[in-house]
Every structure is written in structure tokens, then in C-alpha cells.
Structure 1
Amino acid sequence: MYGIAFTINNVGTFEEIRKQKAQLSPAGRLGTVEDVANTMVFLASDMSSYITGAAICVDGGYTAK
């Protein structure tokens, strides 16, 4: 899933677009940089030592619906 980005072209509508996209997510919100970073920290830790060749979706459940 592609994300949204704040640009000069959507200054007036960005908040509305953000709310609409958040409603599509089972998590009820958009992902954050911290969500992705936490996943990377986990994958780099010993706690993930038995995970190999997996595709990890950090999408708040969007692809599971």
C-alpha cells in the first residue's frame, strides 16, 4: 500500500485525506515512522533469530482484511 505525503498540492485537503485513509486501516490510524523503526529493531534483535525469508507487512492489518 502506498502512503500519503504532505505536499504543497494538498495543503488544504491533507487532513481530510489522512482521516479517510486512517479509516481504511483495521488499526484505525496511519502508520508512523516509529512503527516501521520498531519492526526494524525487532528484526535486528536476537528475538527474531528464527525468522528467515519472511515478508513482514507493517501496515496496521490493511493487507489482512
Structure 2
Amino acid sequence: MADKADRMEPDAEVMAGEQHALMIEQALWEFWHDAVDEPLPPKILILLRELAQAEETPPPLRVQ
């Protein structure tokens, strides 16, 4: 049973990272729309997607 919980935990972390990235994107969009009244530039959207992917990637293992 512990093995199943261990396997489910990364999925929850990935989902939390995706949710966090969506919240950041929404906040940026609202700020940008209120300030400039235009869609977010494509470069900003690309950077947000890269940020979300970086949050999903586990840190490298440390060799002791």
C-alpha cells in the first residue's frame, strides 16, 4: 500500500505545479490586460510554459 502512495505523490506534485503555473498565468494576464488592454505577448506565454515544465521536473539526485 505504501508503494501505491509513493507513486501517487509525484502526480499530486505535478498537478499542484500545473495549478500554480495557471494561477500565475491568470494573474499576469489580468495585470497585463488592465494595464495595456492587449493579449499577453507570445514570448511571455512561452516563458510561463517553460516555468511550469521546470516545476514538474524533479531535482537531480545527489550522490553521497
TM-score by length of 1: 0.36
More helix by share: 2
